[in-house]
């Protein structure tokens, strides 16, 4: 009864017993882990992670409030599993953006950044859990937590080096990649939290990302840090 991280995205393998639509409410749900993650994901988007309750997810899945604890250690474990799914999807989206632009350069980096922002905009609740609940979700013991997040970061750093002309893997290239990630992450959080409203001017996030890619890639590497 651990983390169900062996249920990566959404592809349903043989599925021991597909939950037949109407066949006399069966005692065993058959695919509760997935069903719960789906319900929780919906709730996280609808109400936010803190208002999400396991009980509500149980009602949605049509099971008792004790059922989840046969599949997940606790509430946090459910959110942790949801994070795994989220990072997988984010990495896929970034990879797709990379694959969509043939020639290296600012444009490709910008597209990856836009994909990052688009993921956040499409999954604001999940995005907040993925990046904002680390301290609460991970126990100090598990070391290999940020693996999926690292995989996301890996997608960019090669392209950044290529687009900037810096030595791939060098520290300046790394710093530049960090700066671009920082900017794109800032766009994402300010966007989904509705904080751009205080500027009283419309904010075009795509244009913002493009401008940052242009400005930071051409401006050369940071001197230190």
Q: Is 7 an interacting residue with respect to a second copy (CB under 8 A)?
A: no
Encoded one letter per residue, x for contact with a second copy by CB under 8 A and - for no contact, window 142-171 reads: ----x--xx--x-----------------x
Dihedral sign (CA 16, 22, 23, 24)? positive
Q: Is 218 an interacting residue with respect to a second copy (CB under 8 A)?
A: yes
| Binding at 186: pick from DNA, a second copy, none (beta carbon under 5-8 Å per type) | a second copy
Cβ(78)–Cβ(54) below 8 Å: yes
Instruction: Choose the stretch contacting DNA; rule: CB under 7 A; options: 47-55, 112-120, 176-184, 212-220.
Output: 47-55
CB of 131 to DNA, least distance (A): 21
Cα(68)–Cα(32) distance, integer angstroms:
8
DSSP state of 10: S
In the complex with DNA, the residue whose CB is nearer, 27 or 200, is 27
Cα(47)–Cα(49) distance, integer angstroms:
7
Encoded one letter per residue, x for contact with DNA by CB under 7 A and - for no contact, window 56-95 reads: x-----xxxxxx-xxx--xxx-------------------
Q: Binder to a second copy among 2, 59, 134, 165 (CB under 8 A)?
A: 134
Q: Binder to a second copy among 23, 103, 143, 200 (CB under 8 A)?
A: 200
Q: Residues with Cβ < 8 Å from 4, sequence gap 6 or more?
A: 33, 37, 71, 72, 81
CB of 84 to a second copy, least distance (A): 14
Tokens of 133: 């609940």
Q: Is 32 an interacting residue with respect to DNA (CB under 7 A)?
A: yes
Q: Is 185 an interacting residue with respect to DNA (CB under 7 A)?
A: no
Q: Which burial class, exposed, middle or buried, applies to 21 when counting CB atoms under 10 A from its CB (0-12, 13-18, 19+)?
A: exposed
CB of 63 to DNA, least distance (A): 4
Q: Is 204 an interacting residue with respect to DNA (CB under 7 A)?
A: no
> Please, where are the H alpha helices in the chain?
32-47, 54-61, 75-100, 106-122, 124-132, 134-137, 147-164, 171-192, 205-218
Cα(118)–Cα(124) distance, integer angstroms:
10
Q: Is 54 an interacting residue with respect to DNA (CB under 7 A)?
A: yes
| Binding at 42: pick from a second copy, DNA, none (beta carbon under 5-8 Å per type) | none
Q: Which residue ranges make up the site for DNA (CB under 7 A)?
A: 16-17, 26-32, 52-56, 62-67, 69-71, 74-76
């Amino acid at each position: 009864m651990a983390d169900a991280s062996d249920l990566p995205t959404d592809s349903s393998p043989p599925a021991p017993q597909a939950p037949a639509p109407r066949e006399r409410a069966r005692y065993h749900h058959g695919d509760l882990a997935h069903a719960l993650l789906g319900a929780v994901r919906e709730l996280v988007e609808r109400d936010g992670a803190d208002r999400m309750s396991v009980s509500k997810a149980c009602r949605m899945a049509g099971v008792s409030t004790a059922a989840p604890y046969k599949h997940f250690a606790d509430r946090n474990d459910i959110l942790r599993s949801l994070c795994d799914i989220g990072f997988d999807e984010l990495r896929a989206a970034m990879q797709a953006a990379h694959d969509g632009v043939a020639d290296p350069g600012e444009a490709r980096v910008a597209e990856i950044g836009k994909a990052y922002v688009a993921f956040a905009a499409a999954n604001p609740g999940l995005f907040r859990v993925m990046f904002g609940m680390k301290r609460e979700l991970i126990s100090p013991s598990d070391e290999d937590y940020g693996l999926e997040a690292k995989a996301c970061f890996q997608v960019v750093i090669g392209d950044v080096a290529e687009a900037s002309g810096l030595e791939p893997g060098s520290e300046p290239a790394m710093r530049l990649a960090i700066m671009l990630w920082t900017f794109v992450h800032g766009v994402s959080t300010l966007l989904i939290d509705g904080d751009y409203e205080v500027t009283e001017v419309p904010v075009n996030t795509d244009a913002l990302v493009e401008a940052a890619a242009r400005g930071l890639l051409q401006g050369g590497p940071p001197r230190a840090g």
